[in-house]
Structure 1
Amino acid sequence: MAEGSQQAVIDSDLDRIPLPEYEEEDSYLPSKDDASLDFYEACADGDVDELASYIEEEHPDPRDLQYGLEHAAFAGNLATIRYLLERGVRLHRNAFHRKLSVTETTGGPKSQTIFHQAVPRVIQILELYLEFGWHPNQHWTDAASGTRDVFILECGSVLMEKALVEWLLDHGADPTTHTPIPIVDLAAMCHQVEVLDLLLSRGACVTEARPLQRLAILMGGRVGGGTVPPGPDPFGRFKTAEWCLDHGFDIHAVANVKDRCGIPIGMAEVPATALGLACAMLDFEYAEWLFDHGADPDTAKEIGPKLFGVFSNKANDQYIEFVRNLCTKRDSKQLDESSADDMSQQQ
């Protein structure tokens, strides 16, 4: 830490951010008496005087203070974050990423990060954390699953914001860090070409990246009655695919797609081209785009049943007919090109 910085409340040499103590002990629940509830509210509201009074009068359990830090972090209140950290409150996972209650998750995400806040405020929070010993390369335990590690550059809400990614890289975040889904692929899935440019300029690893596969969407986004918004490229997906081709990603590359978000649980582990995967996921709009850019429809002929085991009859018929039509278009195009070559030679 730099000279004159605050006393660390997390060891920057650690490779991970610790859990809050109130989650390390299953039997402990943060205090919920009236005074404690007022304290948590004050943490969120930024009432430093209320915090000071509560701590002086109640001598709270350190775990309750850590719970207060969680409230302060998710409210983005810099004054109370600093006040608690200055008093040695442990900087913990829930000051970055917390699990939501059952009532909060109905039909929605199971966890939440602080990165949903405006980027300038997020950067101010992270600058505070830096003062107290945090480093951007420290992983944390995923709040939703409670098992896998999370690296800050894996977070979609981070990758959606170029300014935040740039700040993290400038402060030591390592874009070569190995993650279950490569960081380049994750940025492609967010359709952020400027972030992709930034990551590559800072040395992000592309050896295992297969962003063209990651752009396939189950049923083209038409899941659960939802539809892709109207327009030629509503999510910037094809712009991202163009970026991939311009940067040398092979449209014919075969990759294992077991970690592809959106593929039904229990699918077989089957290598596939981007076109094969798009066809198998009934993402025909993207499949057409790939075909128009040179993808070989032969790679899609049998991939669907291998990926999903048994299609419904309707889906299977759609898949078979679509791939057959692509092959017919390919053959017709090749025949036209051959005829044109013959005529050119005769002349």
Structure 2
Amino acid sequence: MLAALALVAGVLLDLFAPQPYTGLPLLAAAPLVAGATLSFRSALAVVCVTCVVSVAVDIERGRPATPLFVDLAVVGLIGVLALAVNRLIVRQGRDLALARDVAEAVQRAVLPDPPREAGPLAVAAGYTAAQAEARIGGDFFVVQETPYGVRMIIGDVRGKGIAAVAAVSVAIGAFRQEAEYAPTLVALGQRVDEALARAAARSGPVISTEGFTTAVLAEVSAEGEVLSLVNRGHPPPYLVHDGQFVRLDPTAPQLPLGVGLGDITPAVSVPVDVVRLPPGASLLLVTDGVTEARDKRGTFYDPVSSGRMHRRFRDPDALVDALTKDVDRWTEGEHEDDMAILVVTRRRPPRAA
């Protein structure tokens, strides 16, 4: 539309404007706009049409041969530049698409989708990047069946970029390995803590207390009735049941993972919060992209006080979808941080015949 309007406006100015003011700049702008917005064939067609129109208008106005060829040369030169710009934009678009595909493949390798079912639980998860073109961030979640029940973790690595992805890879790898053997949830958190601290020590001569990872570790017993939680400096999870949200604040605040202070915070001092998980109830775990989402007035989002969230959800996918949409509504689509959501729901026992 812009190319067509520029072409028409240039012709009208050439035909009806006073003689010192011609439409040549607008005629020359038409191929440039086409080169930046259309396909190569369409842009080439606009360039050819513009050259023909420029010659036709000059003949109509009775201009001599020299101005006619000058106008044609100007339009033709800008048309060639427009086609070159078109090829450059197409090439950059292909490179960007390839880079995004590689980033998505890396994220799926580092952060694979959790299983749809784990023991007595139905599982759903969602990830929303702060930037639409970003595919990799510092938020992560894992759900895994173990001999001790279903264990899971949701965490947030401080920082962005490659360093955050490396820390995410260490945390997920340590959790998957140790979840099978750590006898308690506290011991599991301690081993993940030690793995992150070792990785931070290898990255430099001094352990940085700024490269920490907040996390919530959870364990659901084999029958699904007992839920155990260990919170390491992360936003508290929520128990969702019968349309009600209950925030599960930790008994005592704990240091995040990977700070490198495990020797002065022994595992025996870390409290474990135990709650009952009724049939049909859901455990909602989120990162600070949810709890620190703000509206235009700077008010933080809280699912407990949101009237749109107090309803029954048929499955964990519905809860993830509703929470994502509610946060988008609250922030009007402007996310300042990555947002990860993990929901596990205890399946109801089948009814007797």
User: Could you say whether these structures have the same fold, taking a TM-score greater than 0.5 normalized by the shorter chain as the test?
Assistant: no
Normalising by the residue count of structure 1, what TM-score does the alignment of the two structures yield?
0.23
Normalising by the residue count of structure 2, what TM-score does the alignment of the two structures yield?
0.22
Structure of greater Rg? 2
Higher strand share: 2
Give the number of the structure with larger relative contact order, counting CA–CA contacts within 8 Å between residues 6 or more apart: 2
